[in-house]
């Protein structure tokens, strides 16, 4: 048998290793079964996150008797911390532990945090006494009681960051992209990934929250602990069959090295001939052509006298001297930042379905026959919006656009814009609905526990937010993964998830500002302790207005990015053509050098 044919049939692949550190046998490792067990952990994470955050505000206001604005900020800060910690989870996995062990440790931390939250809800000493029936006075939870809840929540957030940042990456590690059959299976994995996590979210919003409201809050949170316990066991059972990748260092460090090197050489002037910039032609990774944008970063590739050794050769210290390719990868990340900044606010709208919308639902008649829908389970309508929006896009819009325009649906930037339009509509509808709800309050009085108003009128605002997320989430994920350097996929995913976290924090900031400006007194404050005496409709209207302004800002950033990428593509086309001509004319000339020159000074 010829050598080439024997190589082709070999089941050994070197892009990954097994649990012993040896090259994996692709016939015995990885594949869909391994990826499916990894998805179990992600489903448990979504189940836990939704079952806690979706109903947390009712516990904070109804059992701990915290003001609405304080409770909303606790929920927002919890959600924001979880998404921002994804950057930390990705850094730990890339630099130290690897994805497998990071997921294991993070899952155990989430299980412990859920257990602590369950215990805090079960022990009478960790919550204030019930309200006085005679005079209606309630004692607000003290600092220690709130502190225990926060410790549990931030432990869960820490674990969530570790799981969320690595599950999708570890799942794709189970497939060989160079194998056509496995590549198609990996595409199937991506297609089902969002469905599985939405299913976990749906179970959290329905089953777990129902148990919290109708059986016991402690048992409801205990379900999260049990889910992670059994999910982790299933995950560990496949340990010998997973495919692993060695830690190669965090992309965050690469960004920092380029920035530090550029700052160190900030007094240098960029050379007119970019061929003099340092580039290591021995690197295995594909080289990226130099671009004239963000040229102040090119200073990191300037070779000065301190970069030479005693023998006259270049001594590379990555904190002082970086290659053109590394700099161009950082430039690619920098170009993403305007889109990153302009998508943060969208997730502030998402926060509302977990906070004030839940409080609205708690005041309405939510019975269907003899069954009463828990206020926290109204998030089910938001999840249905995501599922229906995603299915409609995949099954209707994409086929229609293929038939009429020959395109595979909308671009990622267009999908983000569509989602933002839905968010504006959601907040406008929410403002109108709240006006209607308060008109009923004025008739029957604000102290009535359940208003004679059916819950149906809340469904549109939940559903519209879900539709918006169906487009924006997929658009953002697609944009940050496809537009980032190949070696920075984990960091680009972290950047995307950080927009969600910062959106939660922006919501907390906005609530605090509104409380300072309008106060919390009945008759003047927008966000009073009892929303029946507030002006929540003004708050929703303000969110709709800011959403519209943010949409304009986003469109400007998107137009700038598209034009920038056209310029980059043109440069690459010119350089590639020039290189092909040089290869034909001078075969022995060094490959991959750039002949373009930059006349202007980078300063």
pTM above 0.85, yes or no: no
> In this predicted model, what pLDDT tens digit does every residue of 475-500 receive, in sequence order?
898 888 788 887 676 677 788 889 99
* Mean pLDDT over each residue of the chain, to the nearest integer: 84
CATH 3.40.470.10 fits 12-248, yes or no: no
In tens, the pLDDT along 486-535 reads 767 667 778 888 999 999 999 999 999 999 998 877 667 898 888 888 89
Angstrom CA distances, 138 to 64, 67, 294, 525, 592, stand at 9, 11, 59, 21, 73
- DSSP secondary structure code for residue 312 in this structure: S
How many residues in the chain?
603
Q: Inform me whether the pLDDT recorded for 5 exceeds 50.
A: no
- What's the confidence (pLDDT) of residue 487? 67
pLDDT > 90 in the chain, percent:
33
Phi and psi dihedrals of 570, rounded to 5?
Answer: -65, -40
pLDDT (average), residues 188-195: 66
- DSSP string for 50-85: HHHHTTHHHHHHHTS---HHHHHHHHHHHHHHHHHH
pLDDT in the model for residue 601 = 42
d(CA 129, CA 140): 9
Looking at residue 37, the DSSP 8-state letter turns out to be H
Residue 286 pLDDT level (bands cut at 50, 70, 90): low
Per-position b or e across 36-74, b if 16+ CB within 10 A of its CB = bbbbbbbbbbbbbbbbbbbbbbbbbbbebbbbbbbbbbb
End-to-end CA distance of the chain: 61
Residue 109 has pLDDT above 80, yes or no: yes
The CATH number that domain 343-576 falls under is 1.20.1250.20
The two domains 12-248 and 343-576 share their CATH topology (first three levels equal): yes
Domain definitions of the chain by residue range = 12-248, 251-331, 343-576
């Amino acid at each position: 048998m010829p050598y080439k044919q024997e190589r082709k049939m070999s089941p050994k692949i070197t892009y990954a290793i097994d649990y012993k550190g040896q090259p994996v046998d692709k016939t015995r490792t990885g594949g869909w079964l391994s990826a499916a067990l990894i998805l179990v952990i992600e489903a448990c994470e979504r189940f836990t996150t939704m079952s806690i955050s979706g109903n947390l505000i009712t516990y904070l206001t109804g059992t701990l008797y915290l003001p609405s604005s304080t409770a909303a900020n606790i929920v927002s800060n919890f959600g924001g911390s979880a998404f921002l910690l994804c950057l930390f989870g990705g850094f730990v996995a890339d630099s130290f532990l690897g994805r497998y062990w990071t997921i294991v440790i993070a899952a155990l931390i989430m299980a412990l945090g859920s257990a602590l939250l369950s215990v805090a809800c079960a022990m009478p000493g960790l919550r204030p006494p019930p309200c006085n029936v005679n005079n209606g006075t309630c004692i607000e939870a003290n600092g220690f009681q709130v502190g225990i809840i926060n410790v549990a929540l931030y432990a869960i957030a820490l674990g969530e960051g570790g799981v969320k940042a690595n599950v999708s990456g570890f799942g794709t590690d189970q497939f060989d992209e160079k194998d056509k059959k496995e590549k198609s299976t990996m595409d199937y994995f991506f297609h089902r990934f969002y469905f599985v996590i939405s299913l976990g979210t749906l179970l959290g919003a329905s089953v777990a929250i129902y148990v919290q409201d109708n059986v016991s809050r402690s048992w409801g949170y205990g379900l999260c602990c049990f889910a992670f316990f059994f999910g982790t066991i299933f995950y560990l059972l496949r340990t010998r069959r997973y495919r692993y990748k060695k830690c190669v260092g965090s992309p965050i460090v690469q960004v920092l090295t380029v920035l530090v090197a550029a700052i160190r050489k900030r007094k240098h002037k960029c050379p007119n001939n970019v061929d003099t910039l340092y580039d290591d032609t021995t690197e295995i990774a594909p080289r990226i052509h130099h671009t004239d944008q963000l040229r102040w970063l090119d200073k990191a590739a300037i070779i000065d006298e301190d970069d030479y050794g005693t023998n006259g050769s270049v001594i590379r210290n990555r904190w002082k001297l970086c290659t053109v390719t590394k700099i161009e990868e950082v430039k690619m990340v920098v170009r993403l930042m305007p889109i990153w900044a302009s998508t943060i606010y969208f997730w502030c709208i998402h926060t509302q379905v977990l906070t004030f919308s839940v409080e609205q639902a708690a005041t309405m008649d939510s019975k269907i026959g003899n069954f009463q829908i828990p206020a926290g389970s109204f998030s089910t309508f938001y999840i249905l919006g995501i599922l229906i929006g995603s299915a409609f896009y995949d099954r209707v819009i994409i086929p229609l656009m293929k038939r009429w325009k020959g395109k595979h649906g909308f671009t990622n930037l267009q999908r983000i814009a569509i989602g933002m339009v839905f968010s504006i509509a959601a907040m406008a509808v929410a403002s109108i609905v709240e006006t209607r709800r308060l008109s009923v309050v004025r008739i029957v009085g604000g102290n009535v526990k359940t208003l004679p108003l059916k819950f149906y009128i809340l469904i549109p605002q939940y559903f519209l937010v879900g539709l918006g997320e169906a487009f924006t989430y997929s658009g953002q994920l697609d944009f940050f993964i496809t537009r980032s350097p190949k070696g920075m996929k984990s960091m680009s995913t972290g950047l995307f998830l950080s927009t969600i976290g910062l959106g939660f924090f922006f919501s907390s900031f906005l609530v605090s500002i509104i409380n300072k400006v309008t106060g919390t007194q009945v008759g003047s404050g927008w966000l009073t302790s009892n929303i029946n005496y507030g002006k929540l409709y003004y708050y929703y209207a303000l969110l709709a207005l800011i959403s519209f302004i943010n949409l304009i800002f986003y469109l400007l950033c998107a137009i700038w990015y598209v034009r920038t990428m056209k310029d980059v593509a043109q440069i690459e086309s010119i350089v590639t053509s020039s290189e092909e001509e040089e290869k034909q004319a001078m075969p022995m000339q060094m490959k991959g050098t750039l002949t373009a020159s930059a006349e202007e000074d980078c300063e």
